[in-house]
Each structure stands twice: as C-alpha cells, then as structure tokens.
Amino acid sequence: MTTPKRHILAGAFGAAAILATALPAVAQQRPAQQPAAPAAQAQPAPAAQPQQQATAPSGSTIDAIRARGTLVCGVTTGLAGFAAPNSQGVWAGFDVDYCKAVAIALFNDANRVRYVPTTAQNRFTALQSGEVDMLARNTTWTLSRDTSLGFDFGGINFFDGQGFMVKRALNVQNARQLDGATVCVQPGTTTEQNLADWARGARIQIRPVVIERLEDNVAAYIAGRCDAYTTDVSGLASTRAVQQNPNDHVILPDVISKEPLGPLVRHGDQRFADLVRWVHFGLVAAEEFGVTSQNVQEMAQNDPRPEVQRMLGRTGGLGQMLGVDNLWMINIIRTLGNYGEMFERNLTPIGLQRGPNALWTTPGGLQYAPPFR
Amino acid sequence: MSDVPADPRYARQAPRRPLRLSWSDERVRNIVWQALVVGGVLAVFYWLYRNTSYNLEVRRIATGFGFLEREAGLPIAESLIEYDPSMTYFRALLVGVLNTLKVAIVGIVLATILGTLLGIARLSRNWLLARIAGAYVELVRDLPLLLQLLFWYALLQALPGPRQALNPVEGVFLSNRGLKLPFFRWEDAHSWAMIAFVLGVVGTFLYRRWARARQMQDGQPRAVWPIGAALMGALPLAVWWALGAPFQPDIPFLRGFNFQGGLTVSPEFFALLLGLTLYTAGFIAEIVRAGILAVNQGQWEAAQALGLPRGRVMSLVVLPQALRVIIPPMTSQFLNITKNSSLAVAIGYQDIVSIANTTLNQTGQAIEGIAIIMLVYLTISLSISLFMNWYNARIALVER
Ligand SMILES: N[C@@H](CCC(=O)N[C@@H](CS)C(=O)NCC(=O)O)C(=O)O
C-alpha cells in the first residue's frame, strides 16, 4: 500500500508549491515593486535583509515611481464618467483625471500613467501588495479601510450615497417597496454590506445576487435576473447613462448610506499620501479662487492674492515641501482644469449634478480645501 | 501491509560499510547535498515569512484569525444551513464550504453517470449514436469552461421573468429566477427518516456482501431486493410514521416580485452544475472509452463464447476490468470538478472562493483569506484522493 502514502507526500509537495506561489505575491510587495529605488540601491544590502528595503525612508513610493517613470494607478474595470477606455482605447474620466493630476505633479506629463483595471473585490489586494501605487476608484472611506486594511485616504473627491435602480416598467416608487425583491450587487463593496444592514434595519426581505464583474452584474439586472441593481448613486447614473434607453430605468429617490469616495494609498508612506491629498485640495482651491485651465498662466502672473501666488508656485515653495516641482499646480490646472472643470467634463454628461460636491461657498456644498500656506 | 511480494532484485542488501567523514564518500556527499537543499528551501520560506510579517507590520495591516469571530455583514443568496448577515465570518465561510461541496458532489455524481454513458455510446455499434457522442466530446472539451459557464448562465437568464414563468406541470415554475419545485415543509421527522434511509443503504450493502460471500460457499443465490426494499423503503417510512407522519405541502406561488415557498434551484447553481457536469463528462467519456478499449479483445470473445449477451458482457466482464484503468485518471477528473467549481465567482454562485474573497476584501487580510481557501481545497482534494486510492487498491486486488 504505497500509493496513499506517496500521495500524501505528493500532496505535501503540492501544498508547498501552492504556498510558494501564493505567498510571494504579498510577501514580495516591496522588493518587487521598487527594485530600482535609490534608497535601496544606495546601501549595498544583501538580498537576505528584507528590512533594509522595506524600511526605506518614507517617500520611497515617490522615489520608486520616479525611478520607474510611470505612476501605476488602479481604476475601475470601466465605469463611464469615472474611469473607462474611450473609443480610441484611451482611459478617460474623473478618477482617471486624478491619476493624471498626480502624474503631472511628479513628471509634468499626464501620459506617464499606467492604468490597472481592478474589480471591487481585488482592488485592495492590488494596493496592499504594491501592484498599484494608488487607487482612484470610487472607493468609500471607511474606518476599517483606513486602519486594519492599511490605507490612507487622500480626501473626498466625491460625496456619494447608495441608491437603487429599477426598470421603469416595474412601477416601484421607493426603496421600501422592494420587499421580497431580488437585488444585484457587486461583492467586496460597502454596497453589499449596506444592503444587508439596510434590509435588516427596515425589516425588509432582500434576495441578493452577488456577481463579481460589474459588466456581468449589470447584464444580470438588464436580463431581469434581478428586480433592482444597487450601488453608489454615481455608479447608477453612469450605468444608466450607457444603457440603450436610459429612460427605461429609474434611480429611486432613497439614499441608504453615506459613500464618501476618494483616492487612497498604502499606509507607511506619508509623503506620497500628502501629495495625493494636496493634489485634490489644489483642484478644489483652484476652483474656489477662480483659477481655470484658460486663465491659469495669466493668474500666475497677475493675481494679487498671496494664497493664489503660493498655490501656483510663484512664492512660498509649497511644491518643494511636497517633494515636487513648485509649478505643480500650474501644470495640473493647465492640462486638466480645476475641480469644477473636471466635474463638468466627466460627470455632468452622465447626468450628475454638483449637489453636495459644490464648493462650500455654495449652499449645500461640501467641497472645501485647507489653506495653501 | 506487506502483502506486496518483494522484488527479488532488492532482496539482497548491499553490505554495510562504516561512514567515512570524507568528501569522497558518496553517502557523505548525499547527506550534505540534501541538507543544503532542505536548508535552502527552509531559508527561502523563512525569508518569505519574515518579509511578509515585516511588510504587514509597516503598513499596519491587521493579521491573525480574530476576524473569524466578527460579524460578517455580507449577504449570501443560498445556504444549506441557517445564515443571516448578522452571523460571523466563520459561519459565512462554512456556508461557502458547504456550497462548494454541494456543487462538487452533485457534479461528480452526474458527470460520472453521463460520462460513462457517453464513453460506452462512443463505442456503440450504432453509427449515429457513436458519432453524436464523439461530436459531443470534441465540442465540450475544446471550449474553455468559463465560456461554457457564462453561456449557460446567459441562457438561463434569457428565460421569461417570474410573471411569465413557464409552468409545464402544476406547481413547477421555470423563470429567470430559477426552477421552482413543489416540496413539503421539512420537519424533524423527515430528518430522522433520512437518517434511517442512509442506515438502510448501509445495511443493504452489508447484506449484499454477506449474501455474495455465502453464495460463494453454498452456491445459493440470494435475492437482495426484499431486504433492500425493507431497509431502504419500509424502515424510513416506519420512522416517519412513528413520528406522526407530518406532511405539509409547500407549493411555490407568485407574490410580489418573486415566487415564495417551494424548493428553489437558483440559476447560478444550475448554470454552474450544468457547466461542470457537461464539461467534465466529456473527459470522463474518454477515460471510460480508453478503459474499455484497454480490456483485451479475448475477454469479449471468451465471455460471448459463454453465451452472455452483449450488455452483460459489458457489465459483468469488461467494465469491472476496465475500472482498473479508469479509476486513477477518474480521480483527476473529480479533483478537477472540485477545483473548477471556483469559477463560480464569475456567475455569482457563492462558493468558498467567492465568500473568502469578500471576507479578505472586507478585512484586508489577504494572506489569511488565501490560506483558508487553500486549506479547504487541500482538505477536499486530499479526501477525494485518499478515498479513490483506497477504492483503487480494492479494485486492484481483483486483478488476476
Ligand atoms: N463605494 C463602494 C462601491 C465601489 C464600487 O466598486 N462600485 C462599483 C459599482 S459603481 C464599481 O465601481 N465597479 C467598477 C468595477 O468593478 O470595475 C465601495 O467603495 O465599496
């Protein structure tokens, strides 16, 4: 009876092989991601000292990106208005513009970005493992993501909430009428958990259908596998806008959660987190100061307000403090415009209003940037 | 068990000679090399471990399995045990494991039956039947499984909505929400009756063995069916009867958005089962065909010379011998079904991979999540392998 024994051995080796292939993905995070990081190169540290590489001083992400020459940005697999390849196969959208803005701050070149499509499910592993430098991907800022998942959020670039979309023919007026309905939802989202929470709280029975890929999920809703599709209202608007007949679908008025969306980076590198955060604030501040892609050069020359002069890098050396060129904001705004312009270019076409994403100076607006000083 | 006769070539042992501590001693060299290799592998693992824990620490990513006790909060569409989102991650993962087992076990049984029939059909003397079986095998083997799953799922979604559901037989509804079947309310009495049935199956099996053994001694054939009917039919019925014979029909009916009541076969489960079964049956058919062809033509002729009809030649003479060739590659197919069931994620069937992925997404603990997935698959796969090896060894003894 040697067969079973041999099999256990083979199994053990198989296990070792699986382990060996499964672990490096996470284990090699740093070394794989920044082989050329100057900090790591400077010390002739032998490979057997992982510490040396992993403890590389903060700022190493920026150094690694510079050494590589491109920013690797995790985006959605395709959500019109936020991040989707256009007809020429070029990524475009609101989140894509955030990737570009960071690339401009670092390289003064919006094209130095490699976009990595991520699903709701695999986005966090991609960021944790160093497969991407940052995520600009409709991601809700939550406590656990900020702590135990090991991320830092760079502000809130879109205040959102979760809603439901149904077919108009179904004649449903509000979410409470969905008792007993089947609802399509993407796994690995706050959406999925909110749905469960909400149903429990409202004592409503919901049957979930949980499909990983956005496309397949929407297809299931369209085919009638589900009565309703739920996600962030922005996502609903985007999905609705690209349907053959958007008017066949209604977004219900109920919003069942808060979904503050923003770009995020890994823990352990404050300098990169600072940069992403201030790129966002810069875009908002620019709108507040009336700096646009059209007038940015002229404002830099002539605007008498000291804060504008500092933001646009004429004085104060703020860019340097962030570890980038002092002209970073001029370059960003010249290419992409300010927050309002980005919104108008990408999100207005899919039917989204500014709403809470208006500047704080407008009633009901929440977008606010701390001082550039 | 040393009933395997020792190979005479190895019977004579080489004379022992003392170990010389010298590089020219082959045994010393062997030991040194092996120690180096093992040490190297261990060092690599240690390095991976250190590196990982260090990186996790730097990023303040949570570690450990404490999350298993926390509330999962994730909705699960179908479950064999009671589950709601306020239960723990452990419970949610258990639901996932059971869902994986459910589709794997049903898939293995169906694929084996269908594959065997197809394999035999492909050797049939009926030209049309053989060709159809051949074409089927080629078709399903050549298309990627994922594609087939998506195809079946899309097809099931193309069924009419619940309000226009197909209603072929009273109480049976087929719609894009799945297959709805009439059932009855399940109560404890039914569970006990089930247990009685399982015991009945075991009892019948044991009786059959005993009857065969006796027949070998006294030449008396003994009918198994009366005992079987009593143990597997009358016994469970009696148990059910003794417990009050509860029976509450549960007929599906349409209310609001969906059907209520009855038994549901969800489109996700059905598409996955269909895909796995049809795909794997193609491979099994080839294995069965190869196994049958491997049986010497002389066996056919000899059996036919005894006057056995073709069907009995197949079932009594050829198939038992073919099994020896069939079983080992069959094990691989069973393992394939189990592992391929993880493609469930694509069509929204919540198996262990789907639920573990969501768990690791919510907790951020990728390593623990992947470790759980690996552990589950290793356990299932090793169990299948061990069982099949045991079965194989049993069959092999029949060899003459
Ligand atoms: N904001 C929620 C949901 C984010 C999310 O993934 N939304 C979906 C639907 S709008 C999406 O963007 N999917 C795109 C994809 O999977 O590629 C979260 O952070 O969990």
The ipTM of this complex is: 0.80
Pocket test for ligand 1, best of A122, A140, A191, A211 (most atoms within 8 A of CB): A191
What pLDDT shows up at residue B270?
Answer: 96
Report the residue from A22, A122, A220 with minimal CB separation from B370: A22
* Pair of tokens at residue A33: 């991601």
Residue A142 shares a structural domain with residue A277: no
Q: How many domains does chain A have?
A: 2
DSSP states along A41-60 = HHS---TT-HHHHHT--TTH
Q: What span, in angstroms and rounded, lies between the C-alpha atoms of A137 and A258?
A: 16
In sequence order, the β-bridge partners of residue A164 are A230
Strands (E), chain A: 71-75, 84-85, 91-92, 113-117, 134-135, 151-153, 158-160, 162-167, 182-185, 207-210, 228-232, 249-251, 259-261, 264-266
**Could you report how far apart the first and last alpha carbons of chain B are, in Å?**
19
Report d(CA B256, CA A181) in Å as an integer.
Answer: 8
A24: confidence class by pLDDT, cuts 50, 70, 90? very low
What is the Cα–Cα distance from A208 to A226, expressed in whole angstroms? 8
pTM for the complete prediction? 0.82
Touching check for A1 and chain B: CB below 8 Å? yes
HEC string of B54-104 equals HHHHHCCCCCCCHHHHCECCCCCCCCCCCCCCCCEHHHHHHHHHHHHHHHH
pLDDT of residue A39: 38
Tokens, residue B347: 């069509």
Name the residue with the closest Cα to ligand 1, atom 3. A189
**Of residues B59, B84, B86, nearest to A268 (C-beta):** B59
Same domain, A125 and A266: yes
In a domain, A320, yes or no: yes
Q: Tell me, what's the pLDDT at B13? A: 64
CATH number of the domain within which A119 lies: 3.40.190.10
A120 CB under 6 A from ligand 1? yes
C-alpha distances in angstroms, A320 versus A104, A112, A300, B158, B329? 14, 20, 17, 59, 66
User: What integer pLDDT is reported at residue A173 of this predicted model?
Assistant: 94
Q: What is the pLDDT of residues B87-138, one digit of tens each?
A: 999 999 999 999 999 999 999 999 999 999 999 999 988 999 999 999 999 9
What is residue B14's predicted lDDT score, i.e. its pLDDT? 65
Average confidence score pLDDT of chain A: 86
Q: Cα separation of B166 and B261, whole Å?
A: 17
CB pairs under 8 A between A and B: 195
Q: Which of A224, A247, A270 is the last residue of a domain?
A: A270
Are A280 and A344 found together in one domain?
Answer: yes
A5: pLDDT confidence band, cut at 50, 70 and 90? very low
Contact A182 B85 (CB under 8 A): no
pLDDT tens profile A217-249: 999 999 999 999 999 999 999 999 999 999 999
Higher pLDDT, B25 or A272: A272
- Rounded Cα distance, A122 and B361, in Å: 7
- Chain B closest-CA separation from residue A150 CA (Å): 5
Query: Chain B neighbours among A 271-290 (CB < 8 Å)?
Result: none
Q: Give the nearest partner residue to B74 out of A1, A128, A192, using CB atoms.
A: A192
Using DSSP, how many helices (H) and how many strands (E) does chain A show? 17, 14
Radius of gyration of chain A (CA): 23
Phi-psi region of B196 (alpha: psi -120 to 50; beta: other; left: phi over 0): alpha
- pLDDT score of A211 more than 70: yes
Q: For residues A348 and A266, state if they share a domain.
A: no
Min distance A110 CA to chain B CA atoms (Å): 29
Candidate from A73, A75, A77, A79 with most ligand 1 atoms within 8 A of CB, to mutate = A79
* Closest chain A residue to B150, measured at CA: A216
One domain for residues A88 and A136: yes
DSSP A34: -
**Closest-CA residue to A249 (of A330, A172, A345, A337):** A172
- Residue A204 tokens read as 């409503």
* Ligand 1 centroid – CA B84 distance (Å): 23
B115: left (phi over 0), alpha (psi -120 to 50) or beta: alpha
Burial of B235 (0-12, 13-18, 19+ CB in 10 A): middle
Smallest CA–CA distance, residue A233 to chain B, in Å, is: 20
The CA distance from B153 to B139, in Å, is 18
Contact map slice: A 150-169 vs B, CB within 8 A: 150
Closest-CA distance of chain A to residue B344, Å: 9
pLDDT for the residue B7: 61
The one-letter amino acid code at B211 reads: A
Residue A117 main-chain phi, psi, to 5 deg: -70, 130
Question: Is A266 in the same domain as A118?
Answer: yes
Residue A231 lies in a domain: no
Q: For chain B, say whether A119 makes contact (Cβ under 8 Å).
A: no
Residue numbers of chain B with a pLDDT score lower than 50:
1-2, 399-400
By residue count, chain B amounts to 400
pLDDT digits (tens, 9 = 90+) for A47-98: 333 333 333 344 489 999 999 999 999 999 999 999 999 889 999 999 999 9
Residue A86 lies in a domain: yes
Q: How far apart are CA A370 and CA A155, in angstroms?
A: 11
pLDDT at B18: 73
- Least Cα separation, residue B345 to chain A (angstroms): 6
Q: How many CA atoms lie within 13 A of B59 on its CB side?
A: 33
- Asked if A225's CB is within 8 angstroms of B51's CB, the reply is no
Alpha-carbon distance of B25 to B22, in angstroms, equals: 6
A348 and A340 in contact (C-beta within 8 Å)?
no
**What pLDDT is recorded for position B15?**
66
CATH class of B89-152+269-395: mainly alpha
Same domain, yes or no, for A154 and A71? Answer: yes
Domain identity same for A265 and A132: yes
Q: Which ligand 1 atom minimizes the distance to the CA of A190?
A: 20
A265 and A299: one domain? Answer: no
Look up the domain containing A345 and give its range. 273-357
Examine residue A348 and state whether it is found in any structural domain, yes or no.
Answer: yes
Per domain, the residue ranges of chain B are 24-55, 89-152+269-395
Task: Tell me which chain B residues have a C-beta less than 8 angstroms from the C-beta of A52.
Answer: none
What is the reported pLDDT for A51? 36
* Selected residues 174-213 of chain A with any CB under 8 Å from a CB in chain B: 178-182, 185, 187-188, 192-193, 195-197, 199-200, 206-213
CA distance B357 to B233: 43
Position B39 scores a pLDDT of 94
Choose among B104, B102, B138: nearest CA to B118: B138
Cα dihedral A51, A55, A60, A65, rounded to 10, equals 30
Is A165 within the bounds of a domain? no
